[in-house]
Amino acid sequence: MSIIQPGMVYNIHQDASCVYDHEQEELWFAPNTDDKSNILITPISKSYKKKSGSCSKRDWGEQEERHKNSLQMMWDDSNKNKSKIGDILAVWKHKEGVSFHNILNIKGTDERLDSWSQNVGHGSRQVLFISPPFSYIKWDIWIKLGGPPRCMGTTRIKSSRDAILKHLTKSG
């Protein structure tokens, strides 16, 4: 992410704008969500896997490179394939924080990247086209909101969903 100046407004995606909250040291803006929006959470490992096979750290690094090169960012849906346009993808990094991305479009398995071929067992998952990050929550705030301290695979957030959406939209 580029250098953020306190109090400045930035256009991040489409008509959305964000502000850097200097006191909380986080980016913020009101995504186009409603009370029906779901949050899908996906963990990114701290280190690279040494063996062949899927590696969330390598796969996420590839998406960050795609963003830097003005290419569409994308990610696998959960194994239930229930995400919809307008939902949010939360990218979870243990004891660091969570970035948030709007789900912009949903494509079939034929849109999977060639580099995902080693992700055994994910071949039936639909592909989520996601926005660049629109918000970031530091770890301590994530935990205070009731965000899961552990994440073992891509799944929906249920119990802390409302508190997280409220924080993201600063609606109360």
Judge whether 29 lies within some domain. no
Q: What is d(CA 172, CA 165) in angstroms, rounded to the nearest whole number?
A: 10
Judge whether 94 lies within some domain. yes
Which run of H or of E encompasses 141? helix 139-144
171 or 89: which leads in pLDDT: 89
pLDDT at 119 over 90: no
Coil, helix or strand at residue 135? strand
pLDDT at 34 over 50: yes
Q: What is d(CA 136, CA 26) in angstroms, rounded to the nearest whole number?
A: 6
Judge whether 10 lies within some domain. no
CATH number at residue 143: 2.30.130.30
Judge whether 150 lies within some domain. yes
pLDDT, tens digit, for every residue of 121-168? Answer: 566 789 999 999 989 999 999 999 999 999 988 889 999 999 999 998
Both structure tokens of 56: 């969330």
Chain centroid to Cα 8, Å, comes to 23
Judge whether 113 lies within some domain. yes
Judge whether 17 lies within some domain. no
Judge whether 137 lies within some domain. yes
- Residue 28's pLDDT band (cuts 50, 70, 90): very low
Count up the domains in the chain and report the number. 1
Q: According to the model, what pLDDT value does residue 89 have?
A: 95
Q: According to the model, what pLDDT value does residue 106 have?
A: 93
Residue 161 CB neighbours (<10 A): 19
Backbone angle region of 77, left / alpha / beta, with phi > 0 → left and psi within -120 to 50 → alpha: beta
pLDDT, tens digit, for every residue of 56-114? Answer: 888 899 999 999 998 999 999 888 888 999 899 999 999 999 999 999 999 998 888 88
Judge whether 19 lies within some domain. no
